[in-house]
Amino acid sequence: MKNLFLASVARNTLDIFVKSLKRPASKLKVAFIPTAGNLIVDNWFVLEDRKKLLELGFSVIDINLEGKIAKELSKEMIEIDIVFFAGGNTFYLLQEVRKSGFDKIVIEFVNQGGMYIGSSAGTLLAGPTIELAKDIDNQNEAPDLKSFDALSLIDFVILPHYDDEDFKEKIDQNLLKNKNHEYEIVTICDDQAVAVNDDSIKIVKSDTKELK
């Protein structure tokens, strides 16, 4: 059973995710992956997503992928219920996921029933490719990345931040260039997320959008 919650800005929609849970948030342990934001000096958005998880009652364990190997990460994932990929540079995130071997760990984790939450870059990572992050994120920050192939936990591409004035024009240009793309492309706004539960896929929206 696949259970994914793929948000544009996770803190804006996590309340919806919590309502869907069969157990209280206080009984669940989240592996929080901040790696995508590591190269950004003012990565306040990563801290805000983490803060929201704590406010909702989750137990949060920080797991940074840089310099880690799969054996170490497997140990850190013991007794984890949810993996949360925060936002930042999508190319850098995929590079570190691949280098550390965390890609295989996460795919197995999700396929065995573990829950996946993505915020921005973390949402793109869940799809089959991060190619559409071109012209949005700085590809040069991931010099060791050999392929845009992502985790393929879903078979379509989600582009976040469609209502953000800093991103919309770039996203529209990408959509135009990729109108015949091999994968379906779904855009979501900052108060939306794509909830995936096996064959059920729906876009959900928060009642009240938090200020940035």
* Residue positions annotated with a catalytic role: 120, 135, 161
CA distance 148 to 141: 14
- Which residue in the block uniquely carries the two structure tokens 């190269």? 39
Chain-centre distance for alpha carbon 155: 15
Characterise 60 by phi-psi region: left (phi > 0), alpha (psi -120 to 50), beta (else): beta
173 three-class SS: helix
Question: What is the longest distance spanned by two Cα atoms in the chain?
Answer: 45
